[in-house]
Amino acid sequence: MGLKRLDKLIALHCNVSRKEARQLIKDAAVTVNGQRAMRAEELIDTETDDVSVKGFNFTMREHLYLMLNKPQGVISATTDPTKATVLDILPESLRRRSLFPAGRLDRDSTGLLIITDDGAFAHRIMSPAHHVYKTYEVTLSDPLDAAGVAALEAGIRLADGTDCLPAKVKTFTCEGTPCAEIRIREGKYHQVKRMVAAVGSHVEHLHRTQIGRLRLDPALALGDCRPMTDAEVAAVLEDPAEEAEPQLP
């Protein structure tokens, strides 16, 4: 991104006007590389300079990438006339006009959702052509049998004739409840629920744990979010087949 004026960058990253950005600088709310910022026109190297506003540290990347542990009851959309969206639950300091969820989780689903303003990155996550695996842990009404697992792994046809790409499936029980870890690399409407229904069970709860090689940070409680590191952004587009086997409960 190169060199940018400090007030312009603050306006962009904090979703405030240039005038408000200058006031933040006057109010001693801004530091650059640990020193109080004095001049709105100071030039910031967006690759290397470290800017904080009210103690919140910004890496001045062109795009923002947030990891959210989505709770139940909010929808994966930017706006809705009646229901709360995933953007409504972001802390004020992280809200920006251009953010949107990169992919969808159903209203009653929980877990890893990336919120970003990077359209090209979101497209890569969502497009089946890019083979980004999403990993879901589901609790089930009935255990999946070997034939059901084999059908899902071969690529199942849903009740309405939709064909799904082959999935990766592991079954286990959690405190006596039948569960499965299901990995898919596409995101059709209610896909996991419909795949499970097609092999005679029912998803009681669905939680996304991983996208590519990015795992949901276990320190994030439901409803919490935080900016992602550069390594985490890169991990999203990496193949989980190349990592160590995930630890199932």
**Binding footprint of ligand URA on the chain (CB under 6 A):** 105-106, 109, 190-193, 206
Residue (116 or 209) nearer to ligand URA, CB: 209
Helix residue spans in 27-71 (DSSP H): none
Instruction: Let me know if 106 is a catalytic residue.
Output: yes
> Smallest distance, Å, CB 242 to ligand URA?
23
Pairwise CA distance, residues 25 & 9, whole Å:
12
Residue (61 or 194) nearer to ligand URA, CB: 194
Select which of 45, 88, 106, 145 is catalytic: 106
246 conformational bin, left if phi > 0, alpha if psi -120 to 50, beta if neither: beta
> Smallest distance, Å, CB 174 to ligand URA?
19
Rounded to 5°, the CA angle 50-234-236 comes to 130
CA 140 from centroid of its chain's CA atoms: 24
Residue (44 or 196) nearer to ligand URA, CB: 196
Residue (105 or 156) nearer to ligand URA, CB: 105
Pairwise CA distance, residues 21 & 91, whole Å:
19
Torsion sign over Cα 129, 133, 139, 145: positive
Q: What is the DSSP code (8-state) at residue 85?
A: B
Of the candidates 224, 221, 241, the one whose C-alpha atom is nearest the C-alpha of residue 135 is 241
17: number of Cβ within 10 Å:
12
> Smallest distance, Å, CB 115 to ligand URA?
16
107: number of Cβ within 10 Å:
14
Residue (9 or 206) nearer to ligand URA, CB: 206
Tell me the two tokens of residue 236: 């999203």
User: Under a CB-based contact definition with an 8 Å cutoff, are residues 249 and 174 in contact?
Assistant: yes
> Smallest distance, Å, CB 191 to ligand URA?
4
> Smallest distance, Å, CB 111 to ligand URA?
9
| Catalytic positions | 106
